[in-house]
């Protein structure tokens, strides 16, 4: 069952952060962790899962970091929610309950979950970037190191 957890919020915000603050250089996890105020080690676990799911692409090296694996308009929130839900389902214990809950309430929760996912599938990272621009959020511009002598 889908839950709106801190890990889900972190994953969505990380993808949005990478999309919004992207430049010709990949976005480093250190920068994302600083902007989100989360431990880098925890963030890296989520980012690596998003790389395996082909939402993000990792770039190695001293100037490495993360990029979107495809265009912002081709990444829907619903996809990120499903990816994180799979991760959390694998980490959690199976839920048990009464017959009344399993046969009466669970179908209602699943129906609501399906409706929420359909709504989230209609929202793309591009939509969120537009919303951030219209809200006046400044995209990060990183000063590039100058190696001239």
Question: Would you say 1 and 109 are in contact if contact means Cβ atoms under 8 Å apart?
Answer: yes
Q: Among residues 4, 92, 88, 97, which one has the least CA distance to residue 49?
A: 88
Q: Which residue has the higher pLDDT, 24 or 29?
A: 29
Burial of 61 (0-12, 13-18, 19+ CB in 10 A): exposed
User: What residues contact 68, with CB distance under 8 A and at least 6 apart?
Assistant: 15, 18, 19, 22, 55, 56, 57, 75, 125
Which two tokens mark 146? 């100058």
pLDDT score of 56 more than 60: yes
12-39: b (≥16 Cβ within 10 Å) or e? bbbbbbbbbbbeeebbbbebbbeebebe
**All structural domains of the chain with their residue ranges:** 6-134
pLDDT tens digit sequence for 5-28:
889 999 999 999 999 988 888 999
| pTM given for the model | 0.82
User: What is the chain's mean pLDDT, rounded?
Assistant: 87
CATH for 6-134 (3.10.450.50, 1.10.10.10, 3.40.50.1110, 1.20.1090.10): 1.10.10.10
Average pLDDT for residues 46-63, to the nearest whole number?
Answer: 94
Sort residue 56 into left (φ over 0), alpha (ψ -120 to 50) or beta: beta
Q: Which residue has the higher pLDDT, 146 or 38?
A: 38
Give the three-class secondary structure for 49.
helix
pLDDT tens digit sequence for 67-113:
999 999 999 999 999 999 888 776 655 567 888 888 899 899 889 99
Question: Would you say 32 and 17 are in contact if contact means Cβ atoms under 8 Å apart?
Answer: yes
Q: What is the pLDDT of residue 62?
A: 85
Average pLDDT for residues 130-140, to the nearest whole number?
Answer: 89
Q: How far is it, in rounded angstroms, from Cα 95 to Cα 55?
A: 29
């Amino acid at each position: 069952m889908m839950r709106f957890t801190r890990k889900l919020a972190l994953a969505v915000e990380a993808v949005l952060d990478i999309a919004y603050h992207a430049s010709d250089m990949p976005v480093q996890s250190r920068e994302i962790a600083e902007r989100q105020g989360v431990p880098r080690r925890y963030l890296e676990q989520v980012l690596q899962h998003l790389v395996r799911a082909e939402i993000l692409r990792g770039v190695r090296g001293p100037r490495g970091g993360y990029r979107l694996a495809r265009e912002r308009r081709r990444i829907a929130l619903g996809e990120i929610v499903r990816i994180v839900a799979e991760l959390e389902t694998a980490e959690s214990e199976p839920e048990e309950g009464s017959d009344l809950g399993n046969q009466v309430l669970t179908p209602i929760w699943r129906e609501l979950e399906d409706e929420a996912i359909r709504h989230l599938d209609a929202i793309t990272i591009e939509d969120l970037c537009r919303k951030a621009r219209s809200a006046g959020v400044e995209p990060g511009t990183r000063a590039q190191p100058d190696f001239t002598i």
